[in-house]
Structure 1
């Protein structure tokens, strides 16, 4: 079945599932690392354990730890105590064996056993009785030495790590449980298809993307969306290349992070072995997936802190891989050359302002509703302007735009271009006169009343047409002359295509057009929030990744972030600092997102906002008053010397006071000065409401 035509993902097409299966005519080669000839690497990955564990922990090969931290004995105290226990045990055994303590220790033996056994005259009985008793005494002494000297802890802490061997690769489970044998396909009555997939896995022809993509296709067959016969026919014909993404790609050109597509996780780093982290998170991998990204992710850190390289791009890369597997649709927005992957890793690359761009951006989001187009465009144009009544400025701007877009669309069947919209907003007599004449000729009485209302309000105090004209003028520049085409001559991309597993990158204009870039970023965010809410098929997770969301957040955007959770969508927003967000919106923004990342180098002012968002917790504090004990006698001094050798401290008398206090989980000062380079403090929240405390994470491991 040809990958083009009906099954091709085209920007702006109406939402409907593509015909199954979308297989390219020529199976493409797997890009990136060449497949292993024996398939051992893929099979080991597929069969690796993925235990259920705490939220955000990297599940692939994870070994769960205890919930509470065991009490650790200091090294000096542990080793001295172990050696002293051995010395005392050896001295006690020597005293017993050599008879230094007399015969009193034989009293229990004489009381328990009859005289005929003790004085039988038989050498064999004597050996058994007395040496058996010695063995019992020696075993008791050995057990006491092991227990009192804490030798099991010594063994676990210092011996086991040195003799531990790498865990062997998991053995192949029985065919009925081996995921590489596709037992569910075999049980459904397609043994030939299961054999073909299992053979490709053994030969190294199948990769993780292939497995997850075919697994998703199989789930669509089980749900009744696609035909079982079509699935088996595609698998028998193409094996691991079956049901491929419409682009024909089966992997990215390269990978920069660790991904586990079975759990949809991407590893961001390792939780530090720090007292501020819960014990079961320490030294565990930290990862995110759609169940966390569905609550949206906010990343804040100054330039050079690793936002793009260590957080934003790994997440975007994971979403691109999931798009190839048919699970996600992703739109990545950033400046050209920001390190957001190669053009070959995307299906659509919109390079706004670049003459070689193959795609254009639909200024009106692919809608034909003037009111919807006016609302979205108003958010982009005036969403960042100061407004004493948040939201009222956007509503006034939407009203003005609606009074012009509606009449224009009624006459021309399309929305105005950027120069045409600018003329209308500036109140050009020629433009308004021509529009009025066309409406009168078409008999559009209702739209004439809309135009009359616009002309009456023009120039009145508080009229939004002036600010709108100034903002749209930023897009009416020679650099953008070939963009935002509304005639259909170009290839405009619309975010309405997010029904399909598409990978999109939008490059914003280069330096010198910062205001235009902010307008376009707000436009994409507003269109994304409007489009995902209207999707007919929400089985595909939709994500927007913005490498720089400065001057993008407004009240409507904050409200829209909260609504993404119910639409199986989420946003990843990166900021160099919270000063890129209006002061009244900083708290609501941190409250609207479920996952927050504060990187090293944060300012104390930004740290204060995060500290307030993470709240406080009740902890027990212990105040200890120490007073050194002075020995008066020679025996007391000897005991003090022994205690000092064991504990490493002079004998002291402690006065302990314990009380509960409420303290910030991470204070502003700690966030600003105690987070090492390459680290971050992050908290996660799932769609079900489960959340983690703020965790210190090493993003470099």
Structure 2
């Protein structure tokens, strides 16, 4: 079951084993926002009612400003004259219709902007899946069209909004006659254009065109011959896809019997990936058929750690270190999800900040080191863990070799000279390790200082000095240097004695590399 558990793709830091992405809760519009939408609408209805009653003498000021004075009776606000014998007998009446249409358009625009109607309608419509989104926008378009063309909807009984009539009046004034009004082609075209202009915003809101393309693409797509069988991971589908049926059946049986663990499965998957890259699938099959779940076992023979302190998912390369908080401030995918570190994080760098004793080692460093040790057992990496004395980062049995530098009881130790027998080579190797970022010591000066000590010491003792002995020599301790010089004199090795004398003369001099190297060894 653990092998077949879903491991969906998730954001970095989320425990993928059995992770179920949370469903995004629908965002509700705050009551204040709804009130802010309705208040401008109510005010606009009041203003329009007062406008139609003509309660103020200033509402027609712009109309009188942009129209000839002889269109209106003197002493009136906007009472149009009737001219006998003209094609357009009352141009003022037509201008009044156009003016009311413009006033209505400005009022609608102000309501939409002040009430944030576009944002609110988009919130409720665009987030819905198709075809619900298209249907809702179509219903809204029909509602608006019922206000523009109420005669086309027998069930409604209200008057049309001033949209079509102002356009017809504008046609009369521009053409200076009613000839176009008598043309069925012109009026039908005008109605069609108005309908398209009204419907177009709702078509964009509902995504009609993309949805229509999707439907057409589905109809044009060739029918699939059949849905392929999706095998669970415990049946090793990747092996079956390349024809490795025997190996897959053998491993499936071992998984069913429980004779393999997660380390074995991850190790075999790594070996299979390497075999595919190297085109050595036949050798892979032979090894699996011969050794089964123990194939490619770590050279130590270990197939697992003796003790695990954290939860691991080797197939995803993750180690769980806790759980993300369910606070509202946390991003939704992280809320109450398991917290884990995986290759995408461990492959970069990690900085843990906290006071001493806060649990950085126990809750972070130890699980990460344990995860790397498990990955090493799968053949995915090699691990070198460095810690301070008395502060282990993992149990000793998680490593093949444990080196305690300077501890006489340690079974293993580091050879600072890399098993070299030549003093010059050993000096070069050690100098490269010690100089590092030292600004006061050059690499060549460090090599010379070390060679002047390593050669004489090896000539006397037949070995290179231990680190404490080397520290004393570099620090220029008189007793140690005198004893070494006397031993060289007694052996008659004048060459090495001259090397040592040169080092003694340089000890304490300005620019001497010995003291800086001794400080590095301290």
The answer to whether the Cα contact below 8 Å between 2:440 and 2:511 also exists between their aligned partners in 1 is no
| 1:400 Cα deviation from its structure 2 partner | 5.9
After TM superposition, list the pairs within 5 Å mapping 1:493-642 onto structure 2: none
Match for residue 392 of structure 1 among 440, 465, 472: 440
The answer to whether the Cα contact below 8 Å between 1:403 and 1:453 also exists between their aligned partners in 2 is no
- Which one has the largest radius of gyration? 2
Distance 1:434 1:321 in 2: 51
- Residues 1:438 and 1:293: Cα distance change in structure 2 (over 3 Å): farther
The answer to whether the Cα contact below 8 Å between 2:317 and 2:343 also exists between their aligned partners in 1 is yes
The answer to whether the Cα contact below 8 Å between 1:211 and 1:240 also exists between their aligned partners in 2 is yes
Match for residue 514 of structure 2 among 465, 469, 484: 465
Structure 2 match to 1:318: 371
- Residues 1:467 and 1:377: Cα distance change in structure 2 (over 3 Å): closer
After TM superposition, list the pairs within 5 Å mapping 1:95-110 onto structure 2: none
Residues 169-214 of structure 1, C-alpha deviations (whole Å, 9 max, x = no match): xxxx977643322233344444322211111011111211100101
Distance 2:486 2:25 in 1: 78
Match for residue 290 of structure 2 among 233, 237, 256: 237
Distance 1:378 1:398 in 2: 7
Structure 1 match to 2:430: 373
Match for residue 277 of structure 1 among 304, 327, 330: 330
| 1:415 Cα deviation from its structure 2 partner | 3.8
The answer to whether the Cα contact below 8 Å between 1:51 and 1:62 also exists between their aligned partners in 2 is yes
The answer to whether structure 1 residue 54 and structure 2 residue 108 are counterparts is no
- Residues 1:398 and 1:240: Cα distance change in structure 2 (over 3 Å): same
Question: Runs of 5+ in structure 1 lacking a partner?
Answer: 1-43, 78-107, 114-172, 384-389, 473-518, 520-701
Distance 1:281 1:330 in 2: 30
| 1:215 Cα deviation from its structure 2 partner | 1.1
Distance 1:314 1:397 in 2: 43
After TM superposition, list the pairs within 5 Å mapping 1:117-516 onto structure 2: 177-224=231-278, 228-334=281-387, 338=391, 340-352=393-405, 354-364=407-417, 369-378=426-435, 391-392=439-440, 398-399=446-447, 401-404=449-452, 407=455, 415-418=464-467, 420-422=469-471, 424-425=473-474, 426=476, 428-431=481-484, 454-466=503-515, 468-469=517-518, 472=521
Structure 2 match to 1:480: none
Distance 2:309 2:271 in 1: 27
Residues 335-358 of structure 1, C-alpha deviations (whole Å, 9 max, x = no match): 566464433322112244555432
Distance 2:453 2:238 in 1: 54
After TM superposition, list the pairs within 5 Å mapping 1:36-47 onto structure 2: 44-47=1-4
The answer to whether the Cα contact below 8 Å between 1:234 and 1:242 also exists between their aligned partners in 2 is yes
After TM superposition, list the pairs within 5 Å mapping 1:63-78 onto structure 2: 63-65=20-22, 71=27
Moved more, 319-328 or 180-189: 180-189
The answer to whether the Cα contact below 8 Å between 1:364 and 1:377 also exists between their aligned partners in 2 is no
Residue 234 of structure 1 aligns to a residue whose secondary structure is: helix
Residues 210-236 of structure 1, C-alpha deviations (whole Å, 9 max, x = no match): 0010111222222339x5454333322
TM-score, normalization: structure 1?
0.40
The answer to whether the Cα contact below 8 Å between 2:6 and 2:19 also exists between their aligned partners in 1 is yes
TM-score, normalization: structure 2?
0.52
The answer to whether the Cα contact below 8 Å between 1:424 and 1:432 also exists between their aligned partners in 2 is no
| 1:333 Cα deviation from its structure 2 partner | 3.2
The answer to whether the Cα contact below 8 Å between 1:48 and 1:60 also exists between their aligned partners in 2 is yes
| 1:253 Cα deviation from its structure 2 partner | 1.6
| 1:54 Cα deviation from its structure 2 partner | 2.0
- Residues 1:432 and 1:178: Cα distance change in structure 2 (over 3 Å): farther
- Residues 1:263 and 1:435: Cα distance change in structure 2 (over 3 Å): farther
The answer to whether the Cα contact below 8 Å between 1:405 and 1:416 also exists between their aligned partners in 2 is no
The answer to whether the Cα contact below 8 Å between 1:397 and 1:465 also exists between their aligned partners in 2 is no
Residues 258-294 of structure 1, C-alpha deviations (whole Å, 9 max, x = no match): 2111121112222223355334333232222233223
Distance 2:453 2:8 in 1: 55
Residue 328 of structure 1 aligns to a residue whose secondary structure is: coil
Distance 1:394 1:61 in 2: 56
- Residues 1:55 and 1:408: Cα distance change in structure 2 (over 3 Å): farther
Distance 1:190 1:436 in 2: 73
Residue 254 of structure 1 aligns to a residue whose secondary structure is: coil
Distance 2:231 2:270 in 1: 18
- Residues 1:400 and 1:246: Cα distance change in structure 2 (over 3 Å): same
Q: Highest relative contact order (Cα 8 Å, sep 6+), 1 or 2?
A: 1
Residues 80-112 of structure 1, C-alpha deviations (whole Å, 9 max, x = no match): xxxxxxxxxxxxxxxxxxxxxxxxxxxx9x966
Residues 291-331 of structure 1, C-alpha deviations (whole Å, 9 max, x = no match): 32232222232233111211111111111111111112222
- Residues 1:400 and 1:318: Cα distance change in structure 2 (over 3 Å): same
The answer to whether the Cα contact below 8 Å between 1:221 and 1:228 also exists between their aligned partners in 2 is yes
Structure 1 match to 2:135: none
Residue 352 of structure 2 aligns to a residue whose secondary structure is: strand
Residues 539-565 of structure 1, C-alpha deviations (whole Å, 9 max, x = no match): xxxxxxxxxxxxxxxxxxxxxxxxxxx
| 1:55 Cα deviation from its structure 2 partner | 2.3
Distance 1:409 1:61 in 2: 62
- Residues 1:180 and 1:396: Cα distance change in structure 2 (over 3 Å): same
Distance 2:229 2:265 in 1: 17
Distance 2:502 2:28 in 1: 77
Structure number having the greater strand percentage: 1
Distance 2:8 2:368 in 1: 22
| 1:464 Cα deviation from its structure 2 partner | 4.0
After TM superposition, list the pairs within 5 Å mapping 1:81-92 onto structure 2: none
